[in-house]
A and B are shown apart, each in its own frame.
Chain A
Amino acid sequence: AQTVTQSQPEMSVQEAETVTLSCTYDTSENNYYLFWYKQPPSRQMILVIRQEAYKQQNATENRFSVNFQKAAKSFSLKISDSQLGDTAMYFCAFMKRGSGGGADGLTFGKGTHLIIQP
């Protein structure tokens, strides 16, 4: 079974600053995906960024980028030029590649509450 650990329950930064959210995971699998999801107060989980474990290049999506360290099983999210709308819960998640779904599907961490201060 996989586990995902987010060690920062809450973080707060000023608008326009850069913030990094940490995530570590434990798995014996070699092929997998890692995700960061954003959950605003509306409760809808929104995919922020996805990383395929076999790709060495770190994924980027506009202001969002990851630092994927496969050997260390670390997958941090960096948000540049943070905006008030980035305030939300952020969840790191793991999924085995080629998963048939079900319990082999997404495994989530407990989340980090990110607050962007004006």
Chain B
Amino acid sequence: GAGVSQSPRYKVAKRGQDVALRCDPISGHVSLFWYQQALGQGPEFLTYFQNEAQLDKSGLPSDRFFAERPEGSVSTLKIQRTQQEDSAVYLCASGYTGVGEKLFFGSGTQLSVL
């Protein structure tokens, strides 16, 4: 595709529900990042993939958060038993190389947990 695509654009969940957020990176991009952006804040790192390997998941806030990229392209961020503090914009970014020097961002998924 022409850019990084994320879906859904908006997601409303009731507290306790599970959600899955999808990221379709630019074709051929090796690196893929997930960021969480709370209201009025800058993005914060969640996790990083190089191809299908999840090399760093140190930013995931709890074990309710899980990410995968099984075939080295599309990635899914799953949040189990959502809580109000999970409400944020979740941004995905991809890059040509594993170094992540130039990242291309999607438009994010805005998650609201009621």
Select the stretch in A14-22, A79-87, A92-100 that faces chain B.
A92-100
B41 within 8 A of A: yes
A118 within 8 A of B: no
Check A45 against B43 for contact (C-beta < 8 Å).
yes
Contacts between the two chains (Cβ within 8 Å), count: 74
Of B89, B100, B107, the contact of A99 (CB 8 Å cutoff): B100
Check A105 against B107 for contact (C-beta < 8 Å).
no
Determine how close the nearest CB of chain B comes to the CB of A1; give it in whole angstroms. 11
Annotate B86-101 by CB proximity to A: 1 below 8 A, 0 otherwise.
0001010100001111
Residues on A with beta carbons closer than 8 Å to the beta carbon of B103: 47, 105-106
**Which residues of A are interface residues toward B (Cβ below 8 A)?**
4, 33, 37, 42-47, 50, 91, 93, 95, 98-103, 105-111
